């Protein structure tokens, strides 16, 4: 079947009242971006509550569907045929030709669902449904009408031209990126944080990312892996500005000055502080982490509270209540898993103590951090100012 157009359906953004056009415009923008590399020279337009992508050249349906499958805000993708209005007899022929090509086996149940935007059309929707239903039954006697649960719902939309479609390929849902603020993802090379970034982007949030690098304890390959992960998340979230912070001196200083069983918590507190400073500079309103309750010593509820204490911005932890396997399932679905499990050292694990505290005492943590007073502020400033930026897309 040679489709010329895709009708793109959206769900949640349809209920945004007066701001609806903002959501539609953001979605159109994301769709254009996603279809740009696909052959077909698509023209994307919106028209009374729906979005069309019309191809000006032949295109591969699978490629277009794959690209649109990563655009948040889309609930369904309908491959569509548009025909000129050359009278009802011609329309009948077009409908038969459409079903002939799209459904090689004809033993399906169906219903015709006609809608007239062009109220001058000489028949009512009901008359069109009946007449086309009859024409289909005559052409394909193996078919049956089922008005309640049809296998094929044939949509016939009478506008200046006539749209025919019957397939709805599910989209990813969510809201178009760019409609819900901006947040800074703490992106490590693990499984959880890319999933966390994906989940927040899915709600329409533009994301940036920060990675704490500790050369020579962590290699360039570890950094490359994080860039690769940011690129994979960017397939959904749009271009991601990744800030790479050199964390080595801070880590060594903490290692020298503080009790080793508190290292991870204190390190995590400095990560959050630095991430928040960069987030403020970049006009983000929130932070995102891949933390999940109880996964490791630094993610007990007490440890999370101790880490959280240093932030004033809200910290979004979308996988907080997920089991590891549930996070793995999403990472496989979105295509980050294979990269996440490549074995490169992580700056958190290098300095990790044999017996890290699992119930940190916040007063003791404060006292330990006082030992850093002499140099830490300047070190943090140096780390923030010296961060390297890579735009990942």
* Residues in contact with ligand ATP by the rule CB under 6 A: 186-188, 190-193, 210-212, 271, 289-291, 295-296, 298-299, 347-348
Q: Cβ of residue 127: shortest distance to ligand ATP, in angstroms? A: 59
Q: Cβ of residue 366: shortest distance to ligand ATP, in angstroms? A: 21
Residues that bind Mg ion (CB under 5 A): 188, 190, 346
Please identify, using beta-carbon distances, which residue of 146 and 346 lies nearer to Mg ion: 346
Give the CA angle between residues 217, 219, 223 to the nearest 5°.
120
Judged by beta carbon distances under 5 to 8 A according to partner kind, the member of Mg ion, ligand ATP, none in contact with residue 272 is: none
- How do 240-246 and 42-47 pair as beta strands? unpaired
Distance from C-alpha of 5 to C-alpha of 155, rounded to nearest angstrom: 14
111 phi and psi angles, rounded to 5 deg: -145, 140
Please identify, using beta-carbon distances, which residue of 32 and 182 lies nearer to ligand ATP: 182
Judged by beta carbon distances under 5 to 8 A according to partner kind, the member of Mg ion, ligand ATP, none in contact with residue 257 is: none
Judged by beta carbon distances under 5 to 8 A according to partner kind, the member of ligand ATP, Mg ion, none in contact with residue 95 is: none
Judged by beta carbon distances under 5 to 8 A according to partner kind, the member of Mg ion, ligand ATP, none in contact with residue 175 is: none
Please identify, using beta-carbon distances, which residue of 64 and 265 lies nearer to ligand ATP: 265
Q: Which contacts of 64-68 are long-range, i.e. CB under 8 A and separated by 24 or more positions?
A: 64/6, 64/35, 64/38, 64/40, 65/169, 67/34, 67/35, 67/37, 67/38, 68/6, 68/8, 68/31, 68/34, 68/35, 68/171
- How do 182-186 and 206-213 pair as beta strands? parallel
Please identify, using beta-carbon distances, which residue of 186 and 205 lies nearer to ligand ATP: 186
Report the residue closest to ligand ATP, judged by CB. Answer: 190
Total Cβ atoms within 10 A of residue 209: 30
Distance from C-alpha of 74 to C-alpha of 13, rounded to nearest angstrom: 9
Q: Cβ of residue 82: shortest distance to ligand ATP, in angstroms? A: 46
Please identify, using beta-carbon distances, which residue of 147 and 305 lies nearer to ligand ATP: 305
Tokens 């052959």, residue located: 39
Give the CA angle between residues 382, 385, 391 to the nearest 5°.
135
Please identify, using beta-carbon distances, which residue of 1 and 341 lies nearer to ligand ATP: 341
Distance from C-alpha of 40 to C-alpha of 77, rounded to nearest angstrom: 16
Structure-token pair, residue 373:
């007073």
Judged by beta carbon distances under 5 to 8 A according to partner kind, the member of Mg ion, ligand ATP, none in contact with residue 192 is: ligand ATP
Q: Cβ of residue 213: shortest distance to ligand ATP, in angstroms? A: 7
Q: Cβ of residue 212: shortest distance to ligand ATP, in angstroms? A: 4
């Amino acid at each position: 079947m040679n489709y010329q157009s895709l009708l793109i359906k959206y769900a949640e953004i349809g209920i945004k009242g007066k701001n609806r056009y903002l959501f539609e415009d953001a979605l159109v923008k994301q769709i254009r971006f996603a279809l740009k590399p696909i052959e077909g020279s698509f023209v994307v337009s919106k028209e009374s509550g729906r979005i069309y992508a019309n191809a000006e050249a032949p295109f591969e349906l699978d490629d277009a569907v794959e690209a649109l499958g990563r655009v948040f805000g889309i609930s369904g993708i309908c491959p569509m045929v548009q025909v000129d209005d050359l009278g009802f007899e011609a329309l009948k022929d077009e409908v038969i030709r459409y079903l002939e090509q799209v459904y090689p086996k004809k033993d399906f149940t169906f219903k015709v669902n006609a809608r007239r935007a062009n109220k001058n059309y000489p028949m009512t929707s009901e008359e069109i449904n009946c007449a086309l239903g009859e024409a289909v039954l005559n052409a394909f006697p193996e078919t049956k009408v089922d008005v309640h649960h049809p296998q094929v719902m044939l949509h016939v939309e009478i506008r200046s031209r006539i749209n025919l479609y019957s397939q709805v390929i599910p989209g990813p849902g969510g809201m178009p990126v760019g409609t819900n603020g901006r947040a800074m993802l703490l992106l490590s090379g693990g499984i959880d944080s890319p999933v966390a970034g994906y989940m927040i982007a899915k709600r329409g949030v533009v994301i940036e990312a920060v990675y704490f690098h500790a050369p020579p304890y962590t290699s360039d390959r570890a950094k490359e892996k994080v860039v690769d992960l940011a690129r994979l998340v960017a397939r959904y979230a749009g271009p991601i500005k990744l800030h790479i912070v050199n964390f080595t001196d801070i880590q060594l200083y903490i290692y020298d000055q503080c009790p080793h069983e508190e290292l991870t918590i204190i390190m995590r507190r400095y990560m959050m502080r630095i991430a928040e400073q960069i987030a403020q500079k970049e006009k983000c309103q929130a932070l995102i982490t891949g933390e999940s309750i109880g996964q490791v010593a630094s993610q007990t509820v007490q440890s999370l509270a101790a880490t959280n204490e240093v932030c004033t911005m809200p910290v979004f932890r979308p996988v907080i209540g997920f089991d590891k396997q549930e996070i793995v399932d999403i990472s496989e679905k979105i295509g980050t898993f294979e990269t996440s499990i490549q074995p490169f050292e992580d700056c958190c694990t290098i300095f990790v103590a044999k017996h890290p505290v699992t119930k940190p005492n916040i007063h003791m943590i404060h006292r330990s951090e006082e030992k850093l007073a002499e140099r830490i502020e300047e070190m943090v400033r140096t780390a923030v100012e010296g961060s390297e930026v890579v735009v990942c897309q």
